[in-house]
Structure 1
Amino acid sequence: MRAHALRQQKEEETGRRYRGIHTLKFRFFSCVALTAAIYIVVIILLNVLFFQRYYLVEKKHNLTEIYQHINSSYTGDVTVLEDELKHLEKNNNIRISIFNQYDQAIYDTIYQHDRSGTRNFVMEDPLGQAIYVYNSEELKKKGYTFSCLQDSDGQVAYIALLGKLQNSDTVLLRIPTTALKEERSVNLAFLVVSGFAALLACLIAGFFIGGKFTRPITEMTQLARAITRLDFSKKYTGTYHDELGELGESLNKMSEDLESSIHELQQMNEQLQREIEEKQRIDDMRKEFIINISHDLKTPIALIQGYAEGLRVGINDSEEAKNEYCDIIIDEAKRMNHLVRQLLDLSKIELGNTVPNKIEFDAYELAEAVVEKTQVMWQEKQLHVDVSGVGSEVLYADYDMLERAVMNYMTNAIDHTPTGGHIRITTSQDTKHIVLTVENEGSQLAQEEMDKIWDKFYKLDKSRTRVSGGGSGIGLSIVRAIMHAHNGGCGVRNIEQGVAFYLTLPKHP
């Protein structure tokens, strides 16, 4: 058992780790990091492979613009442009030399003291450190050409532009490449450092942005899992008004619809269960009814059959014996008739075929009538009946039906009260009901019997043939049916020395 629990825990931890590396947030974060890394690597590669070419192109373009500016402004007198030439040299970090048509240097910042000297710029530059080679065909065609000045080590020291001016003088523009080497190394180092910084910034931004964008998806995932567990208490609470928001609202609507449908299904199942139980109860009652009615009718039928056959064969010829046989047959027939009439009356009341004819009458008069009709029975057992507790309440009911209910209570009390005991009838009322109670001394009822005694044919003492309602076990069932027809109620409770049966009747509106 413990090994199984540990294995299950390990599988859950493995599943959480697996889900951790496959979550949308992790994938979003990975995509941002990969995109930033690729971008930085591409920038560094472009810088390594193409920065020098780009630098040279830009510098050549810069030299071209300066050449065109000098060519448009130069009139042959270098003194007019001397200040402007110095300004161009200072701002663009270039060297400018101008030669006349005899190859004499008429302007050069280094050799200003010897403007009259002759300089062969084709073979040697004014600095005397590099050899200059140019494209004469391009010079003739475009008016200027580019080339390089190499140092003694064979490395490119300058980018040079040699151009013809409009008065046939020649201008030589040079930019040193030392800055290119410095800028390239510094730029590469800066790109690496800034690239890692940018990558770190992208990772941090991706982490928080990914969390922000995946938070509603995580919330909806938890909501969906709760729905699968039939837990409809969770709701999507996001405030997005985009597709995610619509999806969240759809999940909320689905959760509400499922909760409503399941609640309806539960109610239908409960109703169906109640109907099944009621059907089973009715079926059990039907079976019990057949058994009980068969038992109650079997004895009188057998007696009638036996005594009738005795009369036919003339077992006893005396007139007195014949009359006794006839009396027994008549008594048993009456008993069967009484039982059948009770069952018919009970069925009519329960099916609603007997509608109470309600009138107003005095409660005390009803109690007096019941006591008088049962006088022979309670006097035979020397019982004491007390109706002093019955007030002058006005009852609104069917007199005959209510009298029958009280009569059943009274005969039941007489049967269960010991000789010389007491029976007491009382009334009371509250704001809505009038209560009539019949109390008798005797044995108390067990708690589990108090609900069963109202069922048809139920008898407290199975060995007795007559308990209530003529011994058929139907009397209290008739009381319950009568009171239900009056929208009232009935019940029983134990008192100090016996049992109290009561019925409740709504007051007259």
Structure 2
Amino acid sequence: MKTHAFRPQQEENGKRYRGIHTLKFRFFSCVALTAAIYIVVIILLNLLFFQRYYLVEKKQNLTKVYQHINACYTGDVTVLEDELKHLEKNNNIRISILNQYDQTLYDTIYQHDRNGRNFVMEDPLRQTIYVYNSEELEKKGYTFSSLQDSDGQVAYIALLGKLQNEDTVLLRIPTTALKEERSVNLAFLIISGFAALFACLVAGFFIGGKFTRPITEMTQLARAITRLDFSKKYTGTYHDELGELGDSLNKMSKDLESSIHELQQMNEQLQREIEEKQRIDDMRKEFIINISHDLKTPIALIQGYAEGLRVGISDSEEAKNEYCDIIIDEAKRMNHLVRQLLDLSKIELGNTVPNKTEFDAYELAEAVVEKTQVMWQEKQLHVDVSGVGNEMLYADYDMLERAVMNYMTNAIDHTPTGGHIRIQTAEDAKHIVLTVENEGSQLAQEEMDKIWDKFYKLDKSRTRVSGGGSGIGLSIVRAIMHAHNGGCGVRNVEQGVAFYLTLPKHT
């Protein structure tokens, strides 16, 4: 009932964590959000700082070119002409070298002619020189300035530097492509950003599934455990916290299964004990009824015949003797029943310790047959002891004789007139087995264990033959054999039933 009680709640919980509430979706969303933030930050940085970064990078490039020219320049431009062209080509700059009279010694566009005649610098370039920071030029040897176009935008970044021989070098990098590069770069960043975002979404989907798969598996395992289904196990191969959690769930499932199995066994054992107690109580109640009947009948007879003797119901001596014989016989029957109960209690409580001696098995069988001769001859039974060997038994003779006697009287009672009873022995490496087999009805399988319990009566009719019918005889046999560290049992044979007892060999 408890299992069905929480199952709807489980299903409700299972539905609660679907869609946008799943860990996989949240992981996917975090990856997507992180990628989007990253791309937006890149675009904002490009918009806000790309121009500054571009100008700083160009200034550093101009500084390196100036330092290289200053280190190599000796005053002869023709020596450095090839190197200057190489620098111009690789760095996309315009180089001008002027003497102290502002005459152009070298310029990318205005080259000196073949006769060595120099050109005077154009006014725009001359004006550019005049706007430089002269203090910075004197202090550092070079200074920066910019040349703006008609729109007020920076057209050139220029460096003016003093060379070793007091000549001047003017380096300019055009910045007209900055605006175009910035637009192209921004467009490229947007396109590549969306492509990267898509790639991150796809990767996040598959990676999220990979990372959440063991959690989903452990969730299913936990739900199975709540349903007391311990067949599922975590099979992941992660050697991290998830792996440790999965191993812990497996161990918890195994321990819980073991604990529940132990509880079930204990409950089953307790149930068996309760049923056994109930069975014993029922047997005890039945026993009390049987004993009450068995005692009531002789007590009533004794009381009736005693009162008859007192009132002199008969004056003949023969009738008086018959009354006395009946009273004595019924008193003996009561005494025998009470003694059986006392002997059984003593043996079970361990108050009777076997006095073990060695004796011949055949002699024991002969003695039992002789003492029961009147009983089996009255029913015209045939008793065969040819199967008994000369095995030496080590036991309490009186107690073992009593056990075999109970077997014998039980066989006589249940063997039909003219039937056969066989007593035989056998042995193995450790035990000697004595069997009393009789013809007659076989036992039902469910009765074979019950007949050894005290208070249990196989024959429900309240017979008074030989003082039997109390259900104590076989209980005494079991108690005697238990005191001897032996055993007893019964099995059906072809024509009847065989009761046997086993004794350890004396070593």
User: What TM-score do you get using the length of structure 2 for normalisation?
Assistant: 0.79
SS in 2 for 1:473: coil
Q: CA deviation at 1:466?
A: 3.0
- Select the residue among 475, 478, 484 that pairs with 2:476: 478
Q: CA deviation at 1:232?
A: 5.5
Distance in 1 (alpha carbons) for counterparts of 2:402 and 2:273: 32
Distance in 2 (alpha carbons) for counterparts of 1:96 and 1:17: 73
Residue 390 of structure 2 is matched in structure 1 by 392
SS in 1 for 2:120: coil
Per-residue CA distance 1:258-291 (angstroms, 9 max, x = gap): 4554455445444544443444344334333322
**Farther off after superposition, 323-332 or 13-22:** 13-22
SS in 2 for 1:337: helix
Q: CA deviation at 1:18?
A: 3.4
Distance in 1 (alpha carbons) for counterparts of 2:431 and 2:6: 66
Distance 1:109 1:417, change over 3 A: closer
1:415 and 1:468 in contact (8 A); partners too: no
1:125 and 1:132 in contact (8 A); partners too: no
Distance in 1 (alpha carbons) for counterparts of 2:237 and 2:201: 26
Q: CA deviation at 1:97?
A: 3.8
1:105 and 1:115 in contact (8 A); partners too: no
Q: CA deviation at 1:483?
A: 2.6
2:112 and 2:118 in contact (8 A); partners too: no
SS in 2 for 1:315: coil
1:103 and 1:121 in contact (8 A); partners too: no
Distance in 1 (alpha carbons) for counterparts of 2:223 and 2:3: 28
Distance 1:328 1:156, change over 3 A: same
Q: CA deviation at 1:336?
A: 0.6
**Farther off after superposition, 183-192 or 306-315:** 183-192
2:88 and 2:95 in contact (8 A); partners too: yes
Per-residue CA distance 1:158-208 (angstroms, 9 max, x = gap): 334566778887654432223324433443344344434544554565556
Distance in 2 (alpha carbons) for counterparts of 1:7 and 1:303: 70
Q: CA deviation at 1:35?
A: 1.8
Q: CA deviation at 1:219?
A: 5.4
Q: Which runs of 5+ in 2 are unaligned?
A: none
Residue 438 of structure 1 is matched in structure 2 by 436
1:412 and 1:468 in contact (8 A); partners too: no
Q: CA deviation at 1:105?
A: 4.4
2:394 and 2:505 in contact (8 A); partners too: yes
**Farther off after superposition, 365-374 or 167-176:** 167-176
**Farther off after superposition, 314-323 or 204-213:** 204-213
Distance 1:76 1:471, change over 3 A: closer
**Farther off after superposition, 211-220 or 441-450:** 211-220
Distance in 2 (alpha carbons) for counterparts of 1:362 and 1:386: 17
2:27 and 2:208 in contact (8 A); partners too: yes
Q: CA deviation at 1:303?
A: 1.4
Distance 1:459 1:244, change over 3 A: closer
**Farther off after superposition, 23-32 or 215-224:** 215-224
Residue 276 of structure 1 is matched in structure 2 by 274
Distance 1:139 1:349, change over 3 A: closer
RMSD (CA atoms): 4.9
Distance in 2 (alpha carbons) for counterparts of 1:35 and 1:153: 40
2:59 aligned with 1:68, yes or no?
A: no
2:103 and 2:120 in contact (8 A); partners too: no
2:146 and 2:154 in contact (8 A); partners too: yes
**Farther off after superposition, 234-243 or 297-306:** 234-243
The count of aligned residue pairs is 507
SS in 1 for 2:119: coil
User: What TM-score do you get using the length of structure 1 for normalisation?
Assistant: 0.79
Q: CA deviation at 1:416?
A: 3.1
Q: Which structure 2 residues correspond to residues 252-331 of structure 1 after superposition, within 5 A?
A: 254-255=252-253, 257-259=255-257, 261-331=259-329
1:429 and 1:435 in contact (8 A); partners too: yes
Q: CA deviation at 1:301?
A: 1.0
Distance in 2 (alpha carbons) for counterparts of 1:324 and 1:265: 65
Per-residue CA distance 1:97-131 (angstroms, 9 max, x = gap): 455666554543433358999x9999964699999
Distance 1:51 1:325, change over 3 A: same
1:106 and 1:116 in contact (8 A); partners too: no
Distance in 2 (alpha carbons) for counterparts of 1:328 and 1:2: 67
Per-residue CA distance 1:437-477 (angstroms, 9 max, x = gap): 33333444444444443343444443452356534332232
Distance in 1 (alpha carbons) for counterparts of 2:419 and 2:105: 157
Q: CA deviation at 1:55?
A: 1.4
Q: CA deviation at 1:93?
A: 1.9
Q: CA deviation at 1:341?
A: 0.9
**Farther off after superposition, 121-130 or 88-97:** 121-130
2:382 and 2:420 in contact (8 A); partners too: yes
Per-residue CA distance 1:56-80 (angstroms, 9 max, x = gap): 2332343455556667877877667
Per-residue CA distance 1:293-312 (angstroms, 9 max, x = gap): 21211111111122222222
1:300 and 1:333 in contact (8 A); partners too: yes
SS in 1 for 2:324: helix
Distance in 2 (alpha carbons) for counterparts of 1:203 and 1:212: 14
Distance 1:434 1:63, change over 3 A: closer
Distance 1:76 1:501, change over 3 A: closer
**Farther off after superposition, 363-372 or 425-434:** 425-434
SS in 1 for 2:97: strand
SS in 1 for 2:395: strand
Percent of pairs identical after alignment? 93
Q: CA deviation at 1:400?
A: 1.5
Distance 1:250 1:441, change over 3 A: closer
Q: CA deviation at 1:253?
A: 5.2
**Farther off after superposition, 16-25 or 131-140:** 131-140
1:437 and 1:500 in contact (8 A); partners too: yes
Q: CA deviation at 1:7?
A: 13
Distance in 2 (alpha carbons) for counterparts of 1:506 and 1:2: 53
**Farther off after superposition, 332-341 or 85-94:** 85-94
Per-residue CA distance 1:412-449 (angstroms, 9 max, x = gap): 33333333333333333344433333333344444444
1:459 and 1:467 in contact (8 A); partners too: no
Per-residue CA distance 1:11-39 (angstroms, 9 max, x = gap): 96994693464444443343233222321
Distance in 2 (alpha carbons) for counterparts of 1:3 and 1:338: 58
Q: CA deviation at 1:243?
A: 4.7
Residue 212 of structure 1 is matched in structure 2 by 210
Q: CA deviation at 1:383?
A: 2.8
2:104 and 2:120 in contact (8 A); partners too: no
Distance in 2 (alpha carbons) for counterparts of 1:331 and 1:339: 13
Distance 1:421 1:77, change over 3 A: closer
Distance 1:122 1:37, change over 3 A: farther
Residue 8 of structure 2 is matched in structure 1 by 8
1:367 and 1:387 in contact (8 A); partners too: yes
Q: CA deviation at 1:333?
A: 0.8
Residue 104 of structure 1 is matched in structure 2 by 103
Distance in 2 (alpha carbons) for counterparts of 1:180 and 1:121: 31
Distance 1:81 1:126, change over 3 A: farther
SS in 1 for 2:359: strand
Q: CA deviation at 1:42?
A: 1.5
2:161 and 2:169 in contact (8 A); partners too: yes
